[in-house]
């Protein structure tokens, strides 16, 4: 079963009609059952909800409504981003999809696209470990300086009009919500807040899809088997001067917003010059093939709006706290007492007199050693001179010499007599 999500801010009372036209183009080309998730705020009226539910019931699909209130910390982080009011805050709802929807994957589409193919082809793509699948932005030329200012990589910058989200992989990235708040706080000059934030958070790990899943509308476009994106403020297909306005009105004719003036059949969807609308009956709605299972799907009717006194349901993002790092306890080893070092420099700085004396002594150390040696020699000479002279006889001297040399005195008596 295909999961599809659209976001609505119907402040001018027309965007719900544009969303119905997008759903009509999707329902007309798919044979599987779709779960349609509508994320909206208080601007979506009960009448519009009933009409959207009637459209899903006609084509036998499911539809769910989510009244979303932006979290307070996200509002504070985006307070300085002035372009959010320009693009409506509903464009930021897609940033909260991992916490709003409980599905594994979901396809997001803008309300200004024409799905002229079976969207189940996009649903069947395996994203692996990527966070999302998207198409490179076709209007990013000459924006190199802007990408550098926003901290983005212009070579892989994708468009957010059609995205296949892998919500399970995004939930594994525990810091995705903190990175979202960081981008909104530090880059208030962003001109496309939702698209730039998605590129900032997930641009390093996404799958580039074929361009036919998000082709920008232009004059020479062949829309066969493509999802056509009418990007830009002056290129909307619901404008009367748009070449694709007849196609828009043909899908509008099969919605509860059908007007009395119906265009020609849109069997051959070609963007050509605008034709005048002639009065005619609305075309017969072709019923889609039932699902493969024998049981008919139960159509979920829209929930009644809460009374005015009731408080809106606030969907707070569930950010998983980071577990504390375990502390490893090491055995307590008694430290040996450390003898404090003498702070010689500080002592010398506080006592300049001592420092000056030390410097002087250091210079004269060599001179003092020389004077000491000379003084010791002089004293030795004086002691020798003061020693009394002892004159000994030659015989005594010779005896001393013989005793020292170890000779016998008997053998040398001749020498002693002769020498005497």
pLDDT in the model for residue 144? 81
Query: What residues have CB less than 8 Å from 277, skipping those under 6 apart?
Result: 246, 249, 261, 262, 263
pLDDT in the model for residue 177? 92
The terminus-to-terminus CA distance of the chain in angstroms comes to 145
pLDDT in the model for residue 172? 93
Angstrom distance (rounded) from CA 93 to CA 206: 20
Angstrom distance (rounded) from CA 235 to CA 91: 18
CA atoms within 13 A on the CB side of 205: 12
Question: pLDDT band for position 134 (50/70/90)?
Answer: very high
Pairing of strands 62-67, 34-40: parallel
Angstrom distance (rounded) from CA 157 to CA 390: 116
pLDDT in the model for residue 375? 83
Q: Which of 23, 43, 45, 22 is nearest to 35 (CA)?
A: 23
Question: pLDDT band for position 11 (50/70/90)?
Answer: confident
When mean pLDDT is compared across 23-37, 217-231, 235-249, the lowest value belongs to: 235-249
Question: pLDDT band for position 310 (50/70/90)?
Answer: very low
Mean pLDDT value across residues 274-296: 37
pLDDT in the model for residue 306? 38
CATH classification of 2-252, choosing from 3.90.550.10, 3.40.50.10880, 1.10.10.10, 3.30.950.10? 3.90.550.10
Mean pLDDT value across residues 144-170: 91
- Enter the tokens of residue 223: 């829309």
Q: Which of 112, 111, 205 is nearest to 156 (CA)?
A: 205
Q: Which of 70, 68, 60, 64 is nearest to 49 (CA)?
A: 64
pLDDT in the model for residue 353? 63
Three-class DSSP labels, 27-56: HCCCCCCEEEEEEECCCCCHHHHHHHHHHH
pLDDT in the model for residue 327? 39
Mean pLDDT value across residues 294-298: 35
When mean pLDDT is compared across 149-158, 163-172, 288-297, 387-396, the lowest value belongs to: 288-297
Q: Which helix (H) or strand (E) holds 371?
A: helix 352-386
pLDDT in the model for residue 83? 64
pLDDT in the model for residue 294? 34
pLDDT in the model for residue 267? 40
Q: Is 149 helix (H, G, I), strand (E, B) or coil?
A: helix
**pLDDT tens string 56-72:** 999 999 999 999 988 88
**Among the ranges 13-17, 133-137, 292-296, 339-343, which has the highest mean pLDDT value?**
133-137
Q: pTM to 2 decimals?
A: 0.63
Q: Which of 281, 288, 227 is nearest to 259 (CA)?
A: 281
**pLDDT tens string 327-340:** 343 344 455 555 55
Angstrom distance (rounded) from CA 77 to CA 84: 12
- Is the predicted pLDDT of residue 90 greater than 80, yes or no? no
pLDDT in the model for residue 417? 54
Neighbours of 70 (CB within 10 A): 18
Question: pLDDT band for position 341 (50/70/90)?
Answer: low
pLDDT in the model for residue 175? 92
pLDDT in the model for residue 305? 36
Q: pLDDT averaged over the chain?
A: 75
Question: pLDDT band for position 253 (50/70/90)?
Answer: very high
The ranges of the chain annotated as CATH 3.90.550.10 are 2-252
The DSSP code for 289 is P
Question: pLDDT band for position 219 (50/70/90)?
Answer: confident
**pLDDT tens string 105-123:** 999 999 889 999 999 999 9
**pLDDT tens string 13-55:** 788 999 999 999 999 999 899 999 999 988 899 999 999 999 9
Q: Which of 65, 67, 22 is nearest to 43 (CA)?
A: 67
Phi, psi of 2 (to 5 degrees): -80, 135
Question: pLDDT band for position 356 (50/70/90)?
Answer: low
């Amino acid at each position: 079963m295909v999961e599809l999500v659209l976001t609505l801010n119907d402040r001018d009372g027309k965007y719900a009609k544009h969303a119905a036209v997008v759903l009509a183009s999707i329902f007309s080309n798919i044979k599987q059952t779709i779960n349609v998730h509508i994320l909206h705020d208080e601007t979506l009226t009960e009448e519009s909800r009933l009409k959207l539910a009637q459209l899903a019931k006609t084509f036998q699909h499911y539809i769910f409504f989510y009244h979303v209130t932006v979290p307070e910390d996200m509002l504070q982080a985006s307070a300085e981003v002035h372009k959010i009011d320009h693009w409506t805050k509903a464009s930021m709802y897609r940033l909260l999809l991992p916490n709003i929807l409980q599905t594994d994957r979901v396809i997001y589409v803008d309300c200004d696209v024409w799905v002229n193919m079976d969207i189940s082809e996009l649903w069947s793509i395996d994203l692996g470990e990527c966070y999302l699948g998207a198409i490179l932005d076709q209007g990013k030329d000459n924006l190199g300086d802007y990408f550098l200012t926003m901290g983005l990589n212009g070579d892989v910058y994708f468009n957010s009009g059609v995205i296949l989200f892998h919500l399970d992989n995004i939930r594994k990235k525990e810091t995705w919500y903190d990175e979202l708040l960081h981008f909104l706080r530090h880059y208030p000059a962003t001109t496309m807040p939702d698209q730039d934030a998605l590129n900032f958070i997930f641009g390093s790990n996404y799958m580039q899809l074929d361009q036919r899943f998000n082709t920008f509308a232009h004059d020479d476009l062949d829309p066969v088997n493509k999802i056509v994106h009418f990007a830009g403020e002056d290129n909307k297909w619901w404008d009367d001067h748009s070449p694709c306005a007849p196609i828009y009105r043909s899908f509008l004719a099969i919605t509860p917003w059908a007007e009395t003036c119906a265009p020609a059949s849109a069997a051959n969807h070609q963007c050509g010059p605008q034709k005048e609308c002639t009065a005619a009956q609305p075309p017969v709605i072709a019923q889609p093939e039932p699902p493969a299972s024998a049981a008919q799907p139960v159509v979920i009717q829209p929930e009644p709006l809460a009374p005015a006194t009731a408080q809106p349901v606030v969907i707070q993002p569930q950010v998983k706290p980071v577990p504390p790092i375990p502390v490893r306890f090491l055995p307590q080893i008694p430290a040996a007492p450390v003898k404090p070092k003498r702070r010689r420099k500080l002592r010398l700085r506080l006592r300049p007199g001592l420092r000056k004396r030390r410097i002087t002594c250091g210079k004269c150390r060599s001179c003092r050693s020389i004077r000491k040696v000379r003084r010791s020699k002089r004293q030795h000479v004086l002691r020798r001179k003061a020693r009394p002279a002892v004159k000994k006889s030659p015989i005594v001297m010779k005896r001393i010499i013989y005793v020292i040399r170890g000779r016998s005195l008997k053998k040398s008596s001749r020498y002693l007599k002769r020498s005497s």
